[in-house]
Chain A
Amino acid sequence: MADRPAHIRLRHVTKRFGDALAVDDVSLDVAEGSFTTLLGPSGCGKTTTLRMVAGFHRPDAGDIFLRDVRVTDIPPHRRNTAMVFQEYALFPHMTVAENVGYGLRMRRVPGPEARRRVAQALELVGLSGQERKFPHQLSGGQQQRVALARALIVEPEVLLLDEPLSNLDAKLRVRVRTEIRQLQQRLGKTTLYVTHDQEEALAISDQIAVMHNGRILQVGSPAEIYFHPANRFVADFVGLANFIEGEVVDAHHVHVNGLVVTVARPIARAGRVTLVVRPEMVRLLPAAAVEQPALRGRIAATAFLGSLTRYWVTADGNEWVVDVPAPGHETLHGEVALLLPSERIHVLTE
């Protein structure tokens, strides 16, 4: 991916609203044809960043480029960065066809061609035959597709999506996000996506930029972000994590409460470090079944979730979260042993 040229480039972009620093010196490259997600809690500056790419806010400092063109001073209606809004922003006084055709009307595309392209766009999102309905007559999922068709029809240079799934119910959210991803890959459209839902970000992206307090904390592939978080915030925000304090022994070993834990990636520092252990990495066995030296603890609470069972285990004064996949009818009780596989454990370097 790195060899593809950057399509969207942000360079030291900063934005203030009054006294509040919304976006703080953000730089980011979005590769041609890639699906990049800005992920972070509300108020982290992700939507502001997206809106600056669309041109709704002007950065106080820094620049934004689309390919080699500096667009920082170009007004939003000349940027061709079509956006899907969180609340869709469908025009309530226009039919589906008028909504989808609005961008073409503003570009003075002649009638017959516009009609052909509207039909095409609606077919693309599976809404053929709904042309004459009004937005309020559609379901949430259908409104979402109209918003998508309305953005895609103008053949935007880049596609911007601002939490487009947050108004859908949970099941529909999963289905529509898959559809969005498939459509994006089929069209090869460079896409910048904003969400606060880490699972959504992991599922849909080529690249994730995790934001917090207006800054980008880490940029990487979903697997990189999940398995090798740059700091405690990223580790905590993306997925569940157990944090364990330890003392570095050498490049591959950490001393944790009387046990020596092996890690795959070499550690470049000495002293106290924090280990990140994902709940599903830990193997949980009845205490009696394990003879080798292992972390031992006691189950404090259990939640059966169907595809996995989640245990809260008290061990060495820490509360551990451990997921046991495909549990079937088996449930563990009482004293248990926790086994930590070396290749998955991550050491925080910050």
Chain B
Amino acid sequence: MAVLRWGEVRRHAADPGLALTFLGAVGILVLFVLYPAFRVLLYPSLRDYLALPQSLRWMQAARNSLAMMLLSTLSATFVGLLFAFAITRPDVPGRRFFRSIAMLPLFAPPFMVAFAYILMFGRLGLITHTLLGMTANIFGWHGLWMVQTVAFFPLAMLIITGVLEAANPSLEHAARNLGADEWSVLRTITLALARPGIAGAMLVVAISVLADFGNAVVIAGGFPLLATEAWFRMEGMGDLRGAALVVAMLLVPTVALFLLERYWVSRRVYTTVTGRGSRIERPPTPPLLKWVVVALCALVSVLILLVYFGVVAGAFTSVWGRDWSLTLSHWRLAQDRIWTLWSSVKIGAIAGVMTGVVGVVVAFLTSRNLPLRNFLDFLAVLPGALPGVFVGVGFVLAFNTTPLGGTLWILATALAFWHLPMGYQAAAARLKQIERSIEEAAVNLGASGLRVLWDVYVPLLFRALVEAFAVSFIRAVTNVSIVIFLISPGQVVATFVILNMIQNNIWGAAGALTTMLLLLTFISIGLTWLLVGRVVRTSAVAG
């Protein structure tokens, strides 16, 4: 693998610009992806690692994290399957509505579902307290379970929908033709075909659940989890070694799941054997099943709408749970903190540009026939396997004592490189679609090497660049898992302020600021849509 072929080396030596760019890209990725990761893993001593099994609290956190992973993954995948089924059957009423509704959690800041459910189902919850008069306690594993199910099922839905849509309706017709009744078709064909997709969805959801910091820190209460434990270690006790240990523990299952997803499941998806043939409608869905699915999807849709309704309503309600009169006073309080929103926007913009540029350049490099391009590809997708808290601790250890420390640049860099896989993979996929013959045509007509890049690739990759920017920007502005480790008194961001407000029960102002974040998110999505004609997906792996 690492054997360099002389012919290639000589050929690339003739193109020093490309060679230097390549070395520069490798250097930057090693510095901002590999180095912080190694800092985390090597920070605790071997003795610290060996002592892990003796630490009751951490083993408890590990067990809890794994238990939540199993629970939330199963429920989120199940709900995702229901939605995917509903929206891929043409005879299910409301399928377009369900598809749109189910996308909403993907655009919510990573703590928002938990925040909204405290407002809805908490001790003073609109539904539990005011409407039902119950004494409810949503803090703990059960609240987190519900929150994570709603927050992460759209990921499962998207993956399973892709697989169900890829299944040729002819297969179902063929089964009917060979004597299968509606339920047999469902069991032996539709669901059987979706199995690899369901497995892939479970892995992606599991990674998101394990790494989920925002919801856990808001609603888990005293329930120790790996993702939140790292922050408690550092905030409460300044225990960097402990924080590093915990996130290192968290890294093991997420990387394992990531590799499993990337190198096993994603290659096992049954693509339909043949290409052409008329696209025909799917056979009818069994009526009983259809109405059960519709009822369940409607129920979940209500839960999703409550997320948005709760937060916005909270921003305009005098005293949640006690005085339901409308007020604008929370917005005045929020206005005092609006400067943190500008910090967020600045950081997001820098991170967006970095993700976009680095993503496109690296994608261009890995599409060339260069030695070590697989290594570069690995570095560019690796951050997708790293939980946000891991990256946060990594940047603290690696760069807090450098000139970067305490500036907004450390935040922007950490976020940019954490989001790199999304920008990189979008650009790489786009590059793959561009036929080599287009480049050859340009060369054939007399374009030089650099002109090819400028005339052919830059315009064609513009869309990928804009999308990478938008996704990175939105995720940076709403991020909590990384910024919480890297903010300094001079560099406070909006999400950190909101988190503090929620924890201090200042719900109105928290709702107002979150509403502004939402506006920012949807304006960004709208602008991107205007530019590239497509709604971007902001969530691949949650943090």
Contacting residues, chain A, for B444 (C-beta < 8 A): none
Q: Is the CB of A90 within 8 A of B177?
A: no
| B446 sits at the interface (CB 8 A) | no
Interface size on B, residues (CB 8 A): 29
Contacting residues, chain A, for B270 (C-beta < 8 A): 92-93
Q: Is the CB of B195 within 8 A of A89?
A: no
Q: Restricting to A85-137, which residues have a CB under 8 Å from any CB of B?
A: 85-93, 102-103, 105-107, 135-136
CB distance from A61 to the nearest CB of B (A): 20
| B16 sits at the interface (CB 8 A) | no
With contacts A87-B168, A103-B179 taken as known, whether A93 is within 8 angstroms of B193 at the C-beta atoms is yes
Q: Is the CB of B277 within 8 A of A85?
A: yes
Interface string of A29-52 (1 = CB under 8 A from B): 000000000000000000100000
Contact of A102 among B175, B195, B280 (CB under 8 A): B175
Q: Is the CB of B273 within 8 A of A77?
A: no
| A304 sits at the interface (CB 8 A) | no
With contacts A56-B176, A76-B176 taken as known, whether A89 is within 8 angstroms of B278 at the C-beta atoms is no
Q: Is the CB of A77 within 8 A of B192?
A: no
Of all chain B residues, which has the CB nearest A160? B177
Q: Is the CB of B181 within 8 A of A77?
A: yes
Q: Is the CB of B179 within 8 A of A88?
A: no
CB distance from A25 to the nearest CB of B (A): 23
Of all chain A residues, which has the CB nearest B175? A102
| B276 sits at the interface (CB 8 A) | yes
Q: Is the CB of B168 within 8 A of A76?
A: no
CB distance from A15 to the nearest CB of B (A): 13
CB distance from A149 to the nearest CB of B (A): 12
With contacts A77-B179, A106-B178 taken as known, whether A85 is within 8 angstroms of B173 at the C-beta atoms is yes
Contacting residues, chain A, for B175 (C-beta < 8 A): 91, 102, 106
Contact of A85 among B174, B181, B188 (CB under 8 A): B174
Contacting residues, chain B, for A167 (C-beta < 8 A): 274, 276
Q: Is the CB of B274 within 8 A of A88?
A: yes
With contacts A87-B170, A90-B273, A92-B193 taken as known, whether A47 is within 8 angstroms of B177 at the C-beta atoms is no
Q: Restricting to A72-90, which residues have a CB under 8 Å from any CB of B?
A: 75-78, 80-83, 85-90
| A190 sits at the interface (CB 8 A) | no
| A54 sits at the interface (CB 8 A) | yes
Q: How far is the CA of A105 from the CA of B175 in the complex (A)?
A: 11
Q: Is the CB of B283 within 8 A of A89?
A: no
Q: What is the interface of chain B mostly: helix, strand, loop, or mixed?
A: loop
| A150 sits at the interface (CB 8 A) | yes
| B303 sits at the interface (CB 8 A) | no
CB distance from A84 to the nearest CB of B (A): 9
Of all chain A residues, which has the CB nearest B178? A103
Contacting residues, chain A, for B274 (C-beta < 8 A): 87-88, 143, 167
| A154 sits at the interface (CB 8 A) | yes
Of all chain B residues, which has the CB nearest A103? B178
| B25 sits at the interface (CB 8 A) | no
Interface string of B263-307 (1 = CB under 8 A from A): 000000011111111101001000000000000000000000000
With contacts A136-B273, A143-B273 taken as known, whether A91 is within 8 angstroms of B171 at the C-beta atoms is yes
Most central of B174, B181, B192 by chain A CB within 10 Å: B174
With contacts A56-B283, A107-B179 taken as known, whether A83 is within 8 angstroms of B278 at the C-beta atoms is no
| B431 sits at the interface (CB 8 A) | no
Contacting residues, chain A, for B195 (C-beta < 8 A): 93
| B60 sits at the interface (CB 8 A) | no
| B255 sits at the interface (CB 8 A) | no
Q: How far is the CA of A150 from the CA of B177 in the complex (A)?
A: 11
Interface string of A64-78 (1 = CB under 8 A from B): 000000000001111
| B180 sits at the interface (CB 8 A) | yes
Q: Is the CB of A102 within 8 A of B273?
A: no
Q: Is the CB of A47 within 8 A of B278?
A: yes
Seed contacts A92-B272, A143-B273; 19 additional CB < 8 Å A-B pairs: A54-B173, A55-B177, A56-B176, A56-B283, A76-B283, A81-B177, A82-B177, A86-B170, A86-B277, A87-B275, A87-B277, A89-B173, A91-B171, A91-B175, A92-B273, A102-B178, A102-B180, A106-B180, A107-B179
Q: Show 30 A/B contacts (Cβ-Cβ < 8 Å), sorted by A.
A: A56-B177, A56-B283, A75-B176, A76-B173, A76-B283, A77-B176, A77-B178, A77-B179, A78-B179, A82-B177, A83-B174, A85-B173, A85-B277, A86-B278, A91-B171, A91-B193, A92-B171, A92-B193, A92-B271, A93-B192, A93-B195, A103-B178, A103-B179, A105-B188, A106-B180, A106-B184, A135-B273, A150-B178, A167-B274, A167-B276
Q: Name A's B-contacting residues (CB within 8 A).
A: 47, 54-56, 75-78, 80-83, 85-93, 102-103, 105-107, 135-136, 143, 150-151, 154, 167
Q: Name B's A-contacting residues (CB within 8 A).
A: 168, 170-171, 173-181, 184, 188-189, 192-193, 195, 270-278, 280, 283
